[in-house]
Structure 1
Amino acid sequence: MTYAVRFTPEAATDLDRLYDFILQRDATDFTLAEAALQAIHNGFATLRSSPFTCRKARSDAPFLRELIIPFGRIGYVALFEIEDSETVTVLAIRHQLEDDYH
């Protein structure tokens, strides 16, 4: 079974924010910024094939889950919801060192 992966507007904004954060540290480091986005997008392959393997975000919400996306020494976390047997919606994405989702 393959799931379609959708993004909320907030999740799309998070991708832009994370990309911009890398460039704010070094405006010439497009390679690192692109590699980070590629790692995030590669992580979404798990959502397309097996979203139930990801950890639950809350014990009382079995369809609300988090995907850990490794990148370098740390990585990213994507909050998503399994909508139905065909659709997964990414709600938010954050760096693992951030306090919470924006």
Structure 2
Amino acid sequence: MSFDVRYTRTAREDLVRLYRLLLEHDREVAARSLDAIRKSADVLADFPFTCRKADPNNPFVRELVVPFGIAGYVALFEIEDDRTVTILAVRHQREDDFH
């Protein structure tokens, strides 16, 4: 079974924000970071249940850890049904929490 992976408006805004932060320092690193997030999100199409639970009371809300450099990113997502995974937010691992 393969899932369709969607992004909410908030998640897309997060990606733009994270890209712009890196773009100020290094264009190539900024592009590689988005590529790493995209490639990791592709895994959700086949294996969303392998990611860690974000809420112990809801097995359908999970976090995808995206390694990048010395830290990385975390994508909060929800398995909506047997065909759809929606990425709700993306943050850098050093940020306090999802907003």
Q: Tell me which stretches of 4 or more aligned residues in structure 1 moved more than 6 Å.
A: none
Equivalent residue in structure 1 for 2:97, among 87, 95, 100: 100
Residues 36-87 of structure 1 deviation map (CA, whole Å, 9 limit, x = unaligned): 0000000012111100000000100110000000001110000000000000
Equivalent residue in structure 2 for 1:74, among 71, 74, 79: 71
The aligned counterpart of 1:39 is: 36
TM-score, structure 1 length as denominator?
A: 0.95
The whole-number CA distance in structure 2 between the counterparts of 1:58 and 1:46 is 20
The whole-number CA distance in structure 2 between the counterparts of 1:19 and 1:60 is 32
Structure 1 vs Structure 2: percent identity of aligned residues?
55
Tell me the C-alpha RMSD between the 2 structures.
0.6
The aligned counterpart of 1:19 is: 19
Structure 2 residues not aligned, in runs of 5+:
none
Deviation at residue 30 of structure 1 after TM alignment: 1.1
Paired residues in the alignment total 99
The letter for the 2-side match of 1:58 is D
